[in-house]
C-alpha cells in the first residue's frame, strides 16, 4: 500500500468510543516527505482531546510480522508511524457496555489514531524497519495498573495479516488471559476533599457505592500539608471536589483565624489548582455568597468580587485562583444547611423548648441544603456542563433569617409569632463579629440552563425537618 500525500487533517470515529483515526497531511517530493506529526492547535481544532502528552516513545521493529500487545494502559495515547506500515488492533477493556469491542485498521505515516486510557493496543508490522511512535499523557511506570488480553483470543477474533504462528511474538504476550478472564479497567477516580464536613457528608451519601470515588477527610488528605499534594499518583484521577474550607466567619477576624482562613481558603486552593492544571484534572471548588458585599438585588456569576470581611476575602481569592484552571467548576452557595449544628437545628431546638428568639431580619437570601449542592455538583460533572462558575442555592422567594426561623417554628408546631425580628447592627451590638452581606440572593438562571433545577427552599426545609426533628 503506497502512502497517500496531502490529505486534509480530519478525524473519523470508530466502533470503540473515544478511539478516533486521523488523516495526517504528508507533503512529499523527490527528496522524501514531511508531516506535522503532532500539532496541538490544529489537532484540537480537528476534534482531538487536549490530552497534554508528557512523554514521546518510539518502538523500532526490523522485521515484517513483529507483533506486540494486546496491552491496555492507564493513560491516553496518540499513535502514528514514522517509517513503514502496521496493522493495528485495539480492544476496549474499560468497564462498561463497550467492553470487548474491537477495531482494526492499517496505519502508515499519513494516519494516526487516538487511544483513550483502558483501550488495549496492539500492532503487527507489515514492512521491515517500521518505527511506531506514540505520545502519552502520563509518565511510563512499571508499577502502573495495566490490563491485557491474549493476541489469539477467540472472542476478539482478530484477523492478523500474518498468522501468529508465523509472526515474531513474545512468549509473554501469548500468555495473556482470554477476554472472559480479563478484569476491566475502571475509570479514573474522583477525589473528594473535606469529606467529613457537612457538604462532604452529603457527597458521601450521593456517591455511596461508587468505587471510582475516593473520600478524604483531614486524616487522609491534610490540605495544609504540602506533602499531601506530592505523594499521590495524580494520573489515576480525573476530578478533585474540594469541599474543605474554613467557614468560621467571625473567628476569621482574629489574628489566628485570619491566618487559618487564608491558609485553607487560598493557599491550599492554590496547591490544588496547580495539581489540577498540571495533570489536566477537573477541579470543583465550593464558593460563598460572602465574596459579595450584598449591595445588589441579586448576584450573578459574572459580578465583580466585593468581599467585606476576612472570610469573604479568602474565599474570593480562592475563586480567582480556581478560575485559572482550564477545567474548573466554581459552585457558589449561600446559607448552607447540612448534617450537624446549623441555624435550622438551632431554631427547631428553641421552638421545642418554648423559647422566643430575636432573629436578624435585614439579611436576605435563600437556604442551600447540602444535599442539593452535592446533587448539583454531580449533575455538572455527569452532564459535562461548560466549565466556569455556577450559583447554586435552593429556589423560591428570598427570605430573611427571621422569616426562615418563623417557618421552622411553624413546621415544628410552634407559633410563628414567637420569633421577633432584629437588625444586624442591633444583634451584633457590642459583639466581635465579621461584616455580613445584607443581600445574598443568587441568580440561578445559569445552573437551570445547564439542566439542574434546585428544590424550592421551603419544601426542602420541610423535608429536612421531617428527617432530623427526632434527633434535635
Q: Which residues are catalytic?
A: 71, 134
Is there a contact between 390 and 330 (Cβ–Cβ < 8 Å)? Answer: yes
DSSP 375-402: HHHHHHHHHTPPSEEEE---BS--EEHH
State in Å, rounded, how far the first CA of the chain is from the last one.
77
Q: Which residue has the cell 448539583?
A: 376
Q: Give the Cβ contact number of residue 361 at 10 Å.
A: 20
Cis ω before 70 (30° cut-off from 0): yes
Is there a contact between 396 and 458 (Cβ–Cβ < 8 Å)? Answer: yes
State how far the Cα of 444 lies from the Cα of 299, in Å rounded to an integer.
9
Q: Which three cell numbers stand for residue 201?
A: 457528608
Give whole-number Cα distances, 271 to 257, 263, 325, 328, 331, in Å.
Answer: 20, 11, 11, 14, 19
- What backbone phi and psi angles, to 5 degrees, belong to 410? -65, -45
Q: Which three cell numbers stand for residue 142?
A: 512499571
Is there a contact between 328 and 387 (Cβ–Cβ < 8 Å)? Answer: yes
Is there a contact between 68 and 59 (Cβ–Cβ < 8 Å)? Answer: yes
State how far the Cα of 77 lies from the Cα of 17, in Å rounded to an integer.
14
Is there a contact between 188 and 85 (Cβ–Cβ < 8 Å)? Answer: no
Q: Which three cell numbers stand for residue 348?
A: 427547631
Q: Which three cell numbers stand for residue 210?
A: 461508587
State how far the Cα of 104 lies from the Cα of 361, in Å rounded to an integer.
68
Q: Which three cell numbers stand for residue 337?
A: 444547611
Amino acid at each position: 500500500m503506497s502512502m497517500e500525500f496531502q490529505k486534509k487533517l480530519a478525524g473519523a470515529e470508530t466502533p470503540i468510543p473515544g478511539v478516533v483515526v486521523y488523516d495526517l497531511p504528508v507533503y512529499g517530493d523527490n527528496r522524501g516527505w514531511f508531516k506535522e506529526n503532532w500539532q496541538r492547535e490544529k489537532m484540537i481544532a480537528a476534534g482531538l482531546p487536549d490530552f497534554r502528552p508528557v512523554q514521546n516513545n518510539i518502538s523500532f521493529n526490523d522485521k515484517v510480522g513483529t507483533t506486540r500487545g494486546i496491552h491496555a494502559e492507564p493513560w491516553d495515547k496518540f499513535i502514528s508511524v514514522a517509517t513503514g506500515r502496521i496493522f493495528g488492533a485495539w480492544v476496549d477493556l474499560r468497564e462498561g457496555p463497550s467492553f470487548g469491542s474491537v477495531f482494526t485498521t492499517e496505519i502508515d505515516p499519513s494516519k494516526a489514531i487516538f487511544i483513550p486510557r483502558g483501550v488495549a493496543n496492539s500492532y503487527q508490522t507489515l514492512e521491515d524497519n517500521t518505527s511506531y511512535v506514540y505520545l502519552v499523557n502520563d509518565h511510563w511506570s512499571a508499577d502502573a495498573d495495566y490490563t491485557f488480553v491474549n493476541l489469539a483470543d477467540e472472542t476478539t477474533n482478530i484477523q492478523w495479516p500474518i498468522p501468529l504462528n508465523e509472526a515474531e511474538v513474545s512468549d509473554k504476550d501469548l500468555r495473556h488471559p482470554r477476554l472472559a478472564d480479563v478484569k476491566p479497567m475502571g475509570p479514573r477516580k474522583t477525589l473528594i476533599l473535606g469529606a467529613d464536613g457537612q457538604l462532604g457528608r452529603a457527597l458521601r451519601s450521593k456517591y455511596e457505592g461508587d468505587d471510582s470515588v475516593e473520600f478524604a477527610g483531614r486524616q487522609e488528605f491534610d490540605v495544609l500539608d504540602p506533602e499531601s499534594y506530592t505523594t499521590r499518583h495524580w494520573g489515576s484521577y480525573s476530578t478533585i471536589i474540594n469541599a474543605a474550607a474554613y467557614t468560621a466567619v467571625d473567628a476569621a477576624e482574629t489574628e489566628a483565624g485570619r491566618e487559618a482562613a487564608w491558609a485553607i481558603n487560598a493557599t491550599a486552593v492554590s496547591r490544588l489548582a496547580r495539581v489540577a492544571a498540571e495533570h489536566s484534572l477537573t477541579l470543583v471548588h465550593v464558593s460563598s455568597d460572602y465574596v459579595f458585599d450584598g449591595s445588589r438585588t441579586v448576584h450573578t456569576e459574572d459580578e465583580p468580587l466585593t468581599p467585606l470581611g476576612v472570610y469573604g476575602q479568602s474565599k474570593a481569592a480562592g475563586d480567582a485562583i480556581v478560575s485559572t484552571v482550564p477545567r474548573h467548576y466554581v459552585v457558589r452557595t449561600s446559607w448552607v444547611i447540612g448534617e450537624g449544628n446549623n441555624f435550622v437545628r438551632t431554631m427547631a431546638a428553641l421552638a421545642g423548648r418554648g423559647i422566643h428568639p430575636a432573629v436578624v431580619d435585614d439579611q436576605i437570601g435563600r437556604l442551600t441544603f447540602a444535599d442539593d449542592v452535592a446533587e448539583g455538583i454531580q449533575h455538572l460533572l455527569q452532564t459535562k456542563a461548560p466549565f466556569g462558575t455556577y450559583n447554586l442555592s435552593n429556589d423560591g422567594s428570598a427570605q430573611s433569617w427571621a422569616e426562615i426561623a418563623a417557618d421552622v417554628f411553624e413546621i415544628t408546631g410552634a407559633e410563628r409569632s414567637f420569633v421577633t425580628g432584629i437588625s444586624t447592627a442591633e444583634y451584633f451590638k457590642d459583639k466581635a463579629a465579621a461584616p455580613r452581606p445584607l443581600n445574598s440572593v443568587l441568580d440561578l438562571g445559569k445552573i437551570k440552563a445547564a439542566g439542574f433545577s434546585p428544590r424550592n427552599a421551603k419544601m426542602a426545609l420541610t423535608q429536612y425537618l421531617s428527617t432530623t426533628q427526632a434527633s434535635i
